[in-house]
Amino acid sequence: MRIRLERRGEVPLYVYILAPTGAFLLAFLMGAFLMLWAGASPIKGYGAFLRGAFGGLKPFTNTLLRATPFLLMATGISLSNRSNVLNIGAEGQYIMGAIAMTWIAVLMQNSVPGFIVILVGVILAVIVGALWAGAAGYLKAKMGINEVVVTVMLNWVAIMLLKWLLRGPLKDPRSQQWPMSPPIGPHLPYIYGNLNLGFVIAVLLAIAIWYVLFRTNIGFKLRACGENPRAARYAGFNVEGMLILSMLISGAMAGMAGAFDVIGTFHILYEGIVVGLGYTSIIVALVGKNHPLAVIGSAIMFGAIYNGVTSMQSVTQLSYTLSKCIEGMIYLFFLISEFLVLYRIRLIRGDAS
């Protein structure tokens, strides 16, 4: 007996809605068993989860704040996915953007106005993030080198560079043994509580990329090159150029996410700033079906999950490891639901002989 995967044809809209909903409920059920096993109350835990994500204006704005890097990176990833190139390197591009923003802030914040520091830092972060991703896109387009391998390797380069900088040129002398940068003074304008202008910019960029993808000639070319490169090349489209362009934009979005977290959320650079956001953003893009407008809702949902799990951990006194296990199960079930929506599994019997 063999197992064969078959891609489904047209999938009804209600399936796209019910599949992630079912995944979420199954993950909650498994999480409840884990909480019972750890001696915690699932009712108390999930009550804290909902309050931490949506229990009032302040928790909701914190959810939007956490959704901002997800939205920026997932929008960029959805764009590169549309051009049939996998950007697994948003994590590294985010780190490079955060480093660029911090370097500019440390260099300039005591000598020029804050808005100039923010403007120059964000522009540099966008450029560095774009180049970090564009290198992988160029190697893929011109030499056929697998972009997954290159982007993952560049992630590790960025992580090691961050570790070195926080123990050397960017280390705060007052932090003693803790590897972190000096505090960053300039910050994005606040909207309410901790929510800053970064979320609004992220939403506007998602809308802009949707418009470019589905309402402009260059967006049509990009999608055509991704869906059928051979036909696009026959039609005279620059397939390699579109691939590199999509990676440049994707990296720029991730670099901007890193800059916004430095000047909008943490106001400092430290080793754990990224905490897997780049990899989670890949799931955010998949759940949003690589559609920039759908990614807005997907990013908010994942921001709610992140904040909800944090609140659940503090109320129930679950260990950090177990809390992250529950969060990871939610992500895993989302991926499984996405797989089952796109593919059906067939069992094929062999010959009687």
pLDDT for 337 = 87
pLDDT for 353 = 45
Amino acid letter, 41: S
336 within domain boundaries: no
Residue 157 predicted with pLDDT over 70: yes
Region 188-210 average pLDDT: 96
3 within domain boundaries: no
The DSSP H or E segment spanning 296 is: helix 292-316
Indicate the pLDDT class of residue 351, thresholds 50, 70 and 90: low
1 within domain boundaries: no
Instruction: Give the pair of three-digit tokens for residue 100.
Output: 């660029």
Strand partners, 190: 196
| Residues 257 and 68 sit within 8 Å (Cβ to Cβ) | yes
Q: How many CA atoms lie within 13 A of 34 on its CB side?
A: 23
Short-list 192, 201, 200, CA closest to 56: 192
pLDDT for 9 = 74
**Of residues 300 and 320, more confidently modeled:** 300
pLDDT tens, position by position, 9-38: 777 777 777 888 888 899 999 999 999 999
pLDDT for 13 = 77
Strand partners, 7: 343
| Residues 283 and 104 sit within 8 Å (Cβ to Cβ) | no
pLDDT tens, position by position, 181-196: 999 999 999 999 999 9
Instruction: Give the pair of three-digit tokens for residue 87.
Output: 């950007």
pLDDT tens, position by position, 257-311: 999 999 999 999 999 898 889 999 999 999 898 999 999 999 999 999 999 999 9
What's CA 209's distance to the chain center, in Å? 16
Amino acid letter, 183: P
| Residues 263 and 187 sit within 8 Å (Cβ to Cβ) | yes
Mean of per-residue pLDDT scores for the chain: 92
pTM score above 0.75 = yes
350 within domain boundaries: no
pLDDT for 352 = 45
Q: What CATH number is attached to the domain comprising 239? A: 1.10.3470
Structural domain tally of the chain?
A: 1
Alpha helices in 83-196 (DSSP H): 90-108, 114-143, 147-166
332 within domain boundaries: no
Least confident range from 73-87, 155-169, 244-258, 270-284: namely: 270-284
Instruction: Give the pair of three-digit tokens for residue 133.
Output: 């991703």
349 within domain boundaries: no
8 within domain boundaries: no
Residue 8 predicted with pLDDT over 80: no
What is d(CA 345, CA 341) in angstroms, rounded to the nearest whole number?
11
Q: Which residues of 33-54 are buried (b: 16+ CB within 10 A; e: fewer)?
A: ebbeeeebebeebbbbbebbbe
62 within domain boundaries: yes
Percent share of the chain, pLDDT over 90: 80
What is d(CA 77, CA 251) in angstroms, rounded to the nearest whole number?
8
pLDDT tens, position by position, 77-122: 999 999 999 999 999 999 999 999 999 999 999 999 999 999 999 9
For residue 143, give its domain range.
41-316
